[in-house]
Chains A and B, each alone.
Chain A
Amino acid sequence: MNFWERLYLPAIFQGMGITFRHMFKKKETVFYPEVQREFSENWRGMHSLKRDEQGRERCTACGLCALSCPAEAITMIAAERQKGEEQLYREEKYAAVYEINMLRCIFCGLCEEACPKEAIYLDGPIVPADYLRKDFIYGKDKLVEEPMKLS
């Protein structure tokens, strides 16, 4: 090692130079959740239970999503549609309780593929973090799509 190398100063400035150069480069990170990255086409996020053109729930509680689920995250209780509820539910049977345990879910999308009624899609955002296990069991209040607004 010669005198200049032993001084370490050129090496320090070279390192500083690299650091300063990065201050003017475009940032790779985004400030989630204020800024959201664009999802890819085949992104699978939070589930949503769909409604049909008339705003009726499509799910008929056939249980095929729960059967196909490799993580056994889905449970449901079926109920019979009563007279006067034709505006709410599409078929004569509907899911009175529909729960997905988001801690169990592996977002594989098999439920979406199994659904014969096109009722469930994993087209939502990233499932948010929470503190309690019980809060990760999402019921129909969180899963069912908002009814269409009358324009």
Chain B
Amino acid sequence: MSEKVKVTIDGITVEVEPGTSILNAARQIGGDIVPPAMCYYSKLEGSGGKCRTCLVKVSKGSEKDPRPMPKLVASCRTGVMDGMEVQNITSPEVIEARKGVVEILLINHPLDCPVCDQAGECHLQDLSFEHGVADTRYEFERRTFERIDIGDKIQLHMNRCILCYRCVYTADQITEGRVHGVLGRGDASEISTYIEKAIDNDFSGNVIDVCPVGALTDKTFRFKNRVWFTKPVDAHRDCPKCKGKVTLWYKGEEVLRVTGRKDQFGEVEDFICNTCRFETKNTSDWVIEGPRHIAHTSVISANHYEIAPTPVIKKNQVLIEANKIEFDRATKV
């Protein structure tokens, strides 16, 4: 392999393979300096460059050409150069630009979070909480659409769509025959399945997981519960079609929904098939691995326990046992 290149993001230097994007270099560092991404999805080839939330400032182009880049660049689409210096959260210009991007994304997005099933795990919600302004300056009517059923398991709320194209790339790459695309241009563009043709592919359910907002939602989970009242548990099963590694979302004894396992950037680790997602909603179908790790910043972490609490008196065997029983009760859904 060729030599690694050095890139400095917000003062933290990291060595990455040449050809890595700035966003992925930042993800290797991790933490607060990772630019948010609404459209880029590392598992989807060709995604990115649409939403502009990952804008960063390149204050030094490279070691050979130290001039800064004239404009803010989309970090998911810009490759790193040796000696590049990037500013993300340390640049007020970037913060300001991101605020503008969020405002643009929210122009047509309805504020129906109390109704939306994605609330609590919605990236746009996080983003607008962090960067957005409380008011909108938009004075015109938001575009509205009727709800569309894509097959009998997936529902499309075109109102909420931010046109990130993730679902289109998913349909393109995960499935063979694409029946899902974007019609129209600019302000008139909309996600469509070509005359509401149902997706029959085994992996079509993954468009729900990749959607950063609540535009594509699971019809079997529609209005069942809020995500923060359900308990995520990792589980697996022998699936002939996919790896079968999923997260089950429990409420009481009941599995309300099944999703792929999402990492810290909100991307699924493995795509799962529709049988795993929609048809196997019994505990007996799965081998439970344990509670899913949820970041403490997420609302889902409320009343979510992952490790056994330390006993009050460490040597008292009775209390240790009692704690174990209590922990089992709390985690065993």
A residues in contact (CB < 8 Å) with B: 60-64, 66-67, 78-80, 91-93, 116-117
Contacts of A62 in B (CB 8 A): 113-115, 119, 226
Q: Is B222 an interface residue when CB atoms closer than 8 A count as contact?
A: yes
Q: Is B305 an interface residue when CB atoms closer than 8 A count as contact?
A: no
Q: Is B299 an interface residue when CB atoms closer than 8 A count as contact?
A: yes
Shortest Cβ-Cβ A-B pairs, 3 listed: A62-B114, A63-B226, A78-B223
- 29 CB contacts below 8 A, A to B, read A60-B114, A60-B115, A61-B223, A62-B113, A62-B114, A62-B115, A62-B119, A62-B226, A63-B225, A63-B228, A63-B229, A64-B114, A66-B229, A67-B226, A67-B228, A67-B229, A67-B299, A67-B302, A78-B224, A78-B225, A79-B223, A80-B223, A91-B112, A91-B114, A91-B115, A92-B115, A93-B115, A116-B113, A116-B114
Among B112, B115, B225, B229: residue with most chain A CB under 10 A: B115
Report how far A44 CA is from B222 CA in the complex, Å: 34
> Least Cβ distance of B298 to chain A in Å?
12
Q: Which of B114-146 contact A (CB under 8 A)?
A: 114-115, 119
Report how far A61 CA is from B114 CA in the complex, Å: 7
Report how far A131 CA is from B97 CA in the complex, Å: 61
Report how far A140 CA is from B32 CA in the complex, Å: 44
Among B119, B223, B228, B302: residue with most chain A CB under 10 A: B223
Report how far A79 CA is from B222 CA in the complex, Å: 9
Contacts of B302 in A (CB 8 A): 67
Report how far A61 CA is from B225 CA in the complex, Å: 9
Contacts of A60 in B (CB 8 A): 114-115
> Least Cβ distance of A56 to chain B in Å?
14
Report how far A62 CA is from B229 CA in the complex, Å: 11
Contacts of A117 in B (CB 8 A): 114
> Least Cβ distance of A89 to chain B in Å?
11
The interface bits of chain B over 202-234 (1 if a CB of A lies within 8 angstroms of the residue's CB, else 0) are 000000000000000000001111101100000
Report how far A67 CA is from B120 CA in the complex, Å: 11
The interface bits of chain B over 228-251 (1 if a CB of A lies within 8 angstroms of the residue's CB, else 0) are 110000000000000000000000
The interface bits of chain B over 301-324 (1 if a CB of A lies within 8 angstroms of the residue's CB, else 0) are 010000000000000000000000
> Least Cβ distance of A1 to chain B in Å?
61
- Considering only CB atoms, which chain B residue lies closest to A80 in the complex? B223
- Considering only CB atoms, which chain A residue lies closest to B224 in the complex? A78
> Least Cβ distance of A67 to chain B in Å?
6
Report how far A60 CA is from B224 CA in the complex, Å: 13
> Least Cβ distance of B327 to chain A in Å?
19
Contacts of B223 in A (CB 8 A): 61, 78-80, 93
Report how far A66 CA is from B299 CA in the complex, Å: 13
- Considering only CB atoms, which chain A residue lies closest to B112 in the complex? A91
Report how far A134 CA is from B226 CA in the complex, Å: 26
Contacts of A93 in B (CB 8 A): 114-115, 223
> Least Cβ distance of B19 to chain A in Å?
44
Contacts of B299 in A (CB 8 A): 67
> Least Cβ distance of B253 to chain A in Å?
16
Contacts of A79 in B (CB 8 A): 223
Report how far A93 CA is from B223 CA in the complex, Å: 7
> Least Cβ distance of A76 to chain B in Å?
9
Whether A80 pairs with B114 at a CB distance below 8 angstroms is: no
Contacts of A78 in B (CB 8 A): 223-225
